[in-house]
Amino acid sequence: MKEKAEHEPKWQIPFFAIWTGQALSLVGSTVTQFALVWYLTKTTGSATVLAAASMMALLPGIFLGPFIGALIDRWNRRVVMIVADSVIALAILLLAYLFWIDALQIWHVYVIMFIRAVGGTFHLPAMQASTSLMVPKKHLARVAGINQTLNGVKNIIGAPLGALLLGLLPMHGVMLVDIVTAALAIGPLFFVHIPQPKRTDEGRAQKQSIWADLGDGLRYLRGWSGLMALIGFALILKIALTPAISLIPLLVYKHFGGGAAQLSLLEAVAGVGIILGGLLLSIWGGFKRQIVTVMTAVIVFGLGFTVLGMAPAGMFGLALVSMFVVGLMLPMIDGPVMAILQGTVAPEMQGRVFTMMNSLLNLTGPISLVFAGPVSDWVGLQVWYVAAGVLCGVLGVMGFFIPAIMNVEENNNGAAAVGAESDQLASRSANCPAHS
């Protein structure tokens, strides 16, 4: 026991070396994202344009995510992150050049957002899957809380910094910030070892096709009824949530009559909430049953969005309070869910399971964005926020009465489903005449 206690802290040095670089890159990406979204908002004033930009960021995860997850489980995850971050940096460099020569058009922004999203679809699950191999299981919930705190920090620093830089630098100068921080993220990856998962059957791993890997990931999800129920809930919520989040800049600009400073303040206040929620989760760890933490937070999250949608144009302060509540609840939703997944899903399956799940979760987003832009331009923006809030509240309450969801941490038969299918395939192969 003493030897284990002495050995265990060593995980912190390599993990946080990578984590720190990624954190700096995330802040740089937030600055770029803020600048681009505000550029589109001010240039066009169109909900349809913002919805289309959001759609470009979602599509790679939906259609490419499952394939990418299968590749991540086969490839070296450290190399995947290096290449993904490098491609994102090169895309932003191209965007900076287009701003510099004053040749940028709206469709250029769409293309760059799509390329960034492809890189992110490789990077995020690779980092998530690597975390479970670098961090002891008992610390995963706290690391999830730290990651949620980081999300708050990036909002507090990134959005105001983006607004400040927009006033000091031309757009191509703002874009270069993202390139510098990307280099800081890539650097540590060259020097830190990231463990690779061992495939349970090396012979089968070499022969199995990508489609078979995808099938394993899908069977794993289907065998976990509680997670499938949670995904179903999220699919319904994202019909209203995705447009609501995407159109916040337009809500500030058109409904509250604010500018970049007001938008950055709103995002910063949400960031303060995320930090406090993340700190609370990292110290407290949530309820003994993590799913109780999730469902309770979903209800309060919905209340925050409802208030945001009902806030009069002259009460921007009420919008700030509602976004603080929304930010406070985000770590209480995302953190426990990620801790459940990282602590339960087998390491060699995590790339496939995470990307397959993200693909399913984002499935309804583009559909809702197709309608949200034109409808919001026609009838106004607030309807989406009220609808999203009410849906969150109703589904959060319903979750407490669905056994599959409340027992999601205990009843995971996904691995058994994959194992049973593998046994059947092996049995049929053994009985094939070609093997006799």
Q: Domain coordinates of the chain in residue numbers?
A: 2-417
Backbone conformation region of residue 21, classed left if phi is above 0, alpha if psi is from -120 to 50, else beta: alpha
Q: Is 107 exposed, middle or buried (0-12, 13-18, 19+ CB in 10 A)?
A: exposed
**CA–CA separation, 335 and 294 (whole Å):** 9
Give the DSSP per-residue string, 221-264.
HHT-HHHHHHHHHHHHHHHHHHHHHHTHHHIIIIIS---HHHHH
Report how far residue 133's alpha carbon sits from residue 92's, in angstroms, rounded to the nearest whole number: 31
pLDDT at 426: 42
What's the rounded Cα separation, in Å, for the pair 47 and 36? 14
Fold adopted by 2-417: Growth Hormone; Chain: A; (1.20.1250)
Q: What is the pLDDT of residue 433?
A: 45
Per-residue pLDDT of the chain (436 residues; tens, 9 = 90+): 444 444 455 777 888 888 888 888 888 888 888 888 888 888 887 777 887 888 888 788 777 777 777 777 778 888 888 998 899 999 999 999 999 998 888 889 999 989 988 888 888 878 877 887 787 777 777 777 777 677 777 777 887 888 888 888 888 888 988 899 888 888 888 888 887 776 554 444 444 666 777 777 778 888 888 888 888 888 888 887 888 888 888 888 888 888 888 888 998 898 888 888 878 887 887 788 888 999 999 999 999 999 998 999 889 999 999 999 999 998 888 888 877 777 777 777 776 777 777 777 777 777 777 777 677 777 677 877 888 899 899 999 999 998 888 888 776 665 555 544 544 444 444 444 444 3
pLDDT of residue 162: 83
Which residues are within 8 A (CB) of 1 and not within 5 positions of it... i.e. 6 or more apart?
none
User: What does the alpha-carbon distance between residue 342 and residue 345 come to, in Å, rounded to a whole number?
Assistant: 6
